[in-house]
Amino acid sequence: MKHTIKFLSLALLIGVVSCSAPKDELADKKDQLQSYKSEAAALKVSIQELEDEIARLDPEFRKNQRKSILITTIQPEQGDFEHYVEVTGSVLSKKNVNISAELSGRIEEIVTREGMAVRKGQVIATIDSESVQRSLDEIQTQLDLAKTIFEKQERLWNQQIGTEIQYLEAKNRMETLEKNLASLQLQEDKSTVRAPFDGTVEEMLVRVGELVQPGTPIVNMIGEDDLFIEGDISERYIGILQQGDSVDIRFPSIDRSLKTKVTAIGSVINPDNRTFKVEVFLPKMDLVKPNMLSVLNIQDYENSEAVIVPTYLILQDNQGSYMFVVEEGLARKRYVERGMTYEGKTEILEGLDGSETLVDKGFREVGDNFNVNIAS
């Protein structure tokens, strides 16, 4: 019994020793790894400090130690640089008008319909002119009598019979009635509403049988020509945009474009959005309708002798904007003064003359005086 107990105790002791041994070995390895990392970090700092000291004493040392970076290059563009202001405009018509009645009466007939194209002078609607017609008949009867009296009075006057006053009164009455008749005939003519210009009936504002008065709108009509585009421009462009400036117009809904000019510039600032109106001439075009949306690109700047670079190549630091140029196999930092930017291209006012070779692909990986290898 004693031998059995001793055997079991020995087995348990061996098991405990065998389990703890691998754990102690793993912990030792982790400690050793951490020690190596600390030594490596300290060694790296020492190496960097020593390299910096050597580089201060020998500038060529840094160039020789640095690995070449593979890049591609491009040349700056030289030539015409244009900048445009992009705004949204709307097509309007100078002949978008309401045609009103000039005579009292009821709408007797509407000849046209909405969306119908009409020509100048074409009948649009007619107004009942019965009262005017009755007055015309009455005046005509009076005029016929006045003419007869005048003719007889005139014959008597020619024979030296009667007085001059009788003759003049007869003549005056006849002429007055002729003028009254002409006036009523004009009113009767106004009972027929006609198109004042070529265009399209946009909306009928009355119905047959409605009573209208002088000034009552009858139809809304839009002319086929005299279209223009109006847009709102920020007030910061006052004095920059001028009448006659070039404008590129695009109609997104019909995928059409054209080039035209600014015809008028507003002189009043809208206090709500701090903009002023600009008007652009629009020639007659198929499919272009009033109130159609358009995009205006108005040229506000041009330099015919500009140095132009891709905008994405321009970087920024505390001293300003800079780019990398390639000189003698090295990337050199070159500070530049930026001008206008448009559609991904920037005008360079100072710092480049256009003959430089610019770092393109790889420009974010290089630094000042980095060795570079230009890909073929």
Q: What distances in angstroms separate CA 238 from CA 81, 241, 297, 339, 342, one per listed residue?
A: 21, 6, 16, 19, 19
Residue entry with tokens 């079991």: 8
pLDDT of amino acid 307: 94
pLDDT of amino acid 1: 46
pTM above 0.75, yes or no: no
Residue entry with tokens 């770092």: 359
Range in 61-65, 228-232, 286-290 the model is least confident about: 61-65
* Paired tokens of 234: 């920020």
CATH of 67-79+305-374 among 2.40.420.20, 3.40.50.300, 3.10.20.580, 1.10.3720.10: 2.40.420.20
Count the helix, strand and coil residues of the chain and give each as a percent rounded to the nearest 5. 35, 40, 30
Percent of the chain with pLDDT over 90: 17
CATH-assigned architecture of domain 102-212: Beta Barrel (2.40)
CATH-assigned architecture of domain 86-94+223-303: Beta Barrel (2.40)
pLDDT, one tens digit per residue, over 144-162 is 888 888 887 788 778 777 7
Count H helices, E strands: the chain? 4, 23
Domain limits, the chain? 1-65, 67-79+305-374, 86-94+223-303, 102-212
- Of 65, 84, 88, nearest to 299 (Cα)? 84
The Cα–Cα gap between 200 and 195 comes to 9
Banded model confidence at residue 96, pLDDT cuts 50, 70, 90: confident
Residue 376 reports pLDDT greater than 80: no
- As a whole number, mean pLDDT of residues 267-280 equals 89
Q: If you average pLDDT over every residue of the chain, what do you get?
A: 82
Q: How many residues does the chain have?
A: 376
- Return the SS3 of 48: helix
The Cα–Cα gap between 278 and 294 comes to 13
- As a whole number, mean pLDDT of residues 119-128 equals 85
